[in-house]
Each structure stands twice: as C-alpha cells, then as structure tokens.
Amino acid sequence: MRACALLGGPKTQWPTDLQAFLAARQAAGDLLIGVDRGSLLLEELNLVPDLAVGDFDSLKKTELAQIEENVPDLRYSIPEKDFTDAELATKYAFVDYQVDALTLYGATGGRLDHFLTNLLMVVKSDFSQYAENIELVDQQNELRFYWPGQHLVNRLPGYTYFGVAPLTAVTGLSITGAKYELNNYTSAVPLSFASNEFLPGQDAFDLSFAKGIVAVIQTKDIDRYQSI
Amino acid sequence: MRACALLGGPKTQWPTDLQAFLAARQAAGDLLIGVDRGSLLLEELNLVPDLAVGDFDSLKKTELAQIEENVPDLRYSIPEKDFTDAELATKYAFVDYQVDALTLYGATGGRLDHFLTNLLMVVKSDFSQYAENIELVDQQNELRFYWPGQHLVNRLPGYTYFGVAPLTAVTGLSITGAKYELNNYTSAVPLSFASNEFLPGQDAFDLSFAKGIVAVIQTKDIDRYQSI
C-alpha cells in the first residue's frame, strides 16, 4: 500500500488536478493522510483522510468538529514535542499502516522553516530508513531521496531538467549519462547541482555515491510565472 | 554600499512593493544587480540594473538587446561553469564593487534545484566568508546566515515566528530567550527547527553555536494562501 499525505503548504504549489488524483488513489486503496491544516484542505476537496495528525491549533471549532466526526483515525499531537506533525504522520504510515511508500504534497513553498524541516526529515536518524520511500511533489518538482549505492534514475513524465543535491556530506558522487557529468566528487557539506538535463532520447541517468543522503529533484519551469 | 540582486524565481514570491523598494534603494546609492532573467524582470519594472550577470539563454533577442543597450556593466557567464550566475553576481558584488551586504530576491520558490543552490551557496568554501552579509528575502521569509559565535537575533518588522536551520554539522547550538529553547545541541547533519517564536514583548533572542553555518528564517503565514 502507498500513502499520500497533504501538508499545510500553499495551494498555489499543488500539482494540477490534485483533487482528482488523490480521489483516484484513495479509491484504489492508498492511505490518505491529512497533516494538521492539510486535513481541512482535504475536507475542502471533498476528500476524507483515512488518518489525520496534528494539533489543529489553527482550525476553527467547526472545522475541527467536522474532522473529528468523519476521520476514522484521528491522532492529536503535542505542539512542544520532538517530532513535527509530518514526522509523526510518516512514522504512523510506515510503522502502524505498513505502507511501502509515502508521497508528501503541500510540503513545499511558503514558509521556508517548514519546507526545510520537511526536506531534512529523512536526514534524521529516526527517518533515514524511509528516505528511499518518501517523495515530495509539487506543481513543478518531484524530489526523491537516495541512499549510498548505484541508482538508475528514471525520467518522470514531463521533466527534462534535474538537480542533484547531497543533503549531507557525500563521498564518491558520480553522475553519468546526463548533460553534465560528475566523477567521484566528495564534499564535506551539503550542496546542490542545479539545471542538469537528461540526454536527448535518454530516459534515465546513473547516480552513484558511497556515503551520504542525496536528493534528486526532477524539475520544470512554469510559464505562468513568466507572464504574470 | 549595499547591493540588491533579483534572480529569476517566481514573481509570486516577491515581497510586496518590490518595485518601489528597489527604486528607492537604487536612488539611495545601492547597487542593483540583475541575475540572468532577473535582469529582464528589473527592466520590466522600469529599473535598469547597474550590473547584469548571466548567459541570458532564455531571453529573446530583443530582450537581450535592451539589456545590452542600457546596462552599464554587463557580464556574460558560461553555462557549463563552476559557478552559477548568482554565485558570480555575489563574487562581483563583494570583490569588484566592495559592497558590505547583499540581499537576494527571486531566489526562493519555483524550482527546488535552483532554490537549494541559492540557499547552500554560503556553505561553499568560496562564499562562506560572505555568509553573514547575505540574506534571502521573499514575501513571507527573511533568511539570514550566521557563523559560529554569540548572536543577538533581532525581530524584523512584521515577524513573530522563526526557524533555526543548521545547514551543516553543528556543535553547541543554543537558543535562549525564545518560546522553544535549545541547550548545547549537536548534530552531525543539517536540520531545521521550525515554528519557534519571539517571546511576547521581546524583540530579540540569543543564538550561539561553536561550529557550522546556521540559517535563521524569520517567517510568517500569508492569509491569501488559506483563502484561495
């Protein structure tokens, strides 16, 4: 089983047709999770989360009452805690629901403190075991995490550009079969190689490294930003 | 002299009244920098950058001709290079123009590979010397970088929340005089503590750490995202 979680990030960053997509995934048996305000956003999309996690501090009484009434598994979090709501939701999904993979929506854009917490969750020792099974998706980015090893990174539909960002110290980082190659690169600090490209006619590139956690971001420009 | 640079990130993330603000800064003697497409965006705001840096690949001939005609200092970059356009602009600003500080606009939102490259620039050995003199500003975040030491972080107008994000390994990290305190925290990997708050009636908190580079993000929610 897969899980889809909606966090409270700005709707402007949502992928197109998120409502229809999530409705179809839930109908197909995926676990649908609302993280704090994300639970309300799901309700507004006429979707009922299977699991809702949060302190719900920012919700009105009537909004919370609706969630309390129709969400089968509602779990309150404590604000001054060791784990964020998104981290708790991730734990519940993988441990209690035994999901194979988790996609986070609403995890990007808006407040940068929130985004960085979501991005760096998989670097924490409690969550690194799930790194390769978590992705962040918004309207112009699909971000996945990799452990050390050799990986064939497949091009996702609609994407040409990608970035490779070690989120920790990294050793032996190589990128082959892409526009800009990298050979056995080592860095003691995180960094981001942006604007790489899949080769014409190629639908994958090779990524390998010996140590660290690396994010690969498939990404595209969005014309509407150019014309505003 | 200070410098303001506009990068090519989405306009939706710009601070309110960016045009008036940049016009006033330039009139007051600040250096105005256009980074690649940011140069055209400045021209569209009826502002002429003092310095423009980029390969300008994504610009139409007529757009580039305009920049070539009226920008006093135009420097072409090579796409397959060691430094990004933003990094080159930073070098030119601090080295050639001897500016004291640099504020980056259009550096957030949109493509996450670009954002992470902008965020992590100051972690690179070529740029870490400028870390405390660079900030990233958008409509709901002001992100500043700190070297090891003791810092009094002053509340910026309009902000209550902040996040503290070590971008590298960190030792001895303490936060005092804030809602959530931290005492002598050590981490081998980057992480982000989100949603901290200035204390009521207090306009600063104390931040100290012994090793690493730490970002402090003053941040706010934006109501229009809730009501879309």
A106 closest CA partner among A8, A213, A4: A8
Q: Which residue of chain A comes nearest to B180, CA vs CA?
A: A80
Q: Is A139 on the interface with B (CB under 8 A)?
A: no
pLDDT of A228 strictly over 50: no
CB within 8 Å of B20: residues ≥ 6 apart: none
Question: In which order are the strands placed within the sheet that holds B182-187?
Answer: B149-154, B204-209, B170-176, B182-187
B-interface mutation test, from A81, A84, A113, A227, most B Cβ less than 10 A away: A113
The rounded distance, in Å, linking the Cα atoms of A25 and A33 is 12
C-alpha span between A131 and A143 (Å, rounded): 11
Q: What are the start-end ranges of the H helices in chain A?
A: 18-27, 37-44, 61-70, 85-91, 112-120, 223-227
CA nearest neighbour of B211 among B188, B182, B181:
B188
Outline where DSSP puts E strands in B44-201.
Answer: 51-54, 73-76, 101-105, 134-138, 141-146, 149-154, 161-166, 170-176, 182-187, 193-197
Question: What is the nearest CA distance from A1 to chain B, expressed in angstroms?
Answer: 28
CA quadruple B94, B100, B105, B107: dihedral sign: positive
User: Which residue type is seen at B220?
Assistant: K
Query: Which residues lie below 8 Å from residue A26, measured CB to CB, with a gap of 6+?
Result: A4, A32, A47, A50
Q: What angle (nearest 5°) sits at the alpha carbon of residue B179, between those of residues B177 and B180? A: 95
The answer to whether A173 and A180 have CB atoms below 8 angstroms apart is no
Q: What is the dihedral of CA A166, A170, A176, A180, to 10 degrees?
A: 60
Give the pLDDT of residue A81: 74
CA distance A177 to B54: 26
Domain boundaries, chain B: 2-139, 145-227
Q: Structure tokens of B49?
A: 């950058």
Averaged pLDDT for residues B205-214: 98
Instruction: Summarize the confidence of residues B156-180 as an average pLDDT.
Output: 97
CA B24 from chain center: how many Å?
Answer: 19
What CATH code is assigned to B2-139?
3.40.50.10240
Identify whether the C-beta of residue A182 lies closer than 8 Å to the C-beta of residue A197.
no
**Spatial distance between the Cα atoms of A204 and B177, rounded to a whole number of angstroms:** 50
Structure tokens at A76: 């309150």
pLDDT of A22 above 50: yes
Which residue in A has a C-alpha nearest to residue B86's C-alpha? A194
Judging contacts by C-beta atoms under 8 Å, the chain A residues touching residue B220 are: 111
When pLDDT is cut at 50, 70 and 90, the band that residue B226 belongs to is very low
CB of B190 within 8 Å of a chain A CB? The answer is yes
Is the distance from CB of B10 to CB of B109 less than 8 angstroms?
yes
**What integer pLDDT is reported at residue B4 of this predicted model?**
98
Residue A217 to residue A140: CA distance in whole angstroms: 10
Q: Are domains B2-139 and B145-227 of this chain identical in fold?
A: yes
Assigned CATH topology for domain A144-227: Rossmann fold (3.40.50)
Mean pLDDT in residue range A29-33: 98
pLDDT confidence of residue B223: 64
Residue A1 has pLDDT above 90, yes or no: yes
**CA pair distance B172, B82, nearest whole angstrom:** 33
Question: What is the per-residue pLDDT for B58?
Answer: 84
Per-residue model confidence as pLDDT tens digits over A69-111: 999 999 999 876 789 999 999 999 999 999 999 999 999 999 9
For B145-227, CATH number? 3.40.50.10240
A182-187 β-sheet, strand order:
A149-154, A204-209, A170-176, A182-187
- Pick the residue from chain A with its C-alpha nearest to B223: A10
- Measured distance CA(B137)–CA(B144) in Å, rounded: 9
At residue A225, the pLDDT reads 47
Pairing between strand B141-146 and B134-138? antiparallel
Q: How confident is the model over B101-154, as pLDDT tens digits?
A: 999 999 999 999 999 999 999 999 999 999 999 999 999 999 999 999 999 999
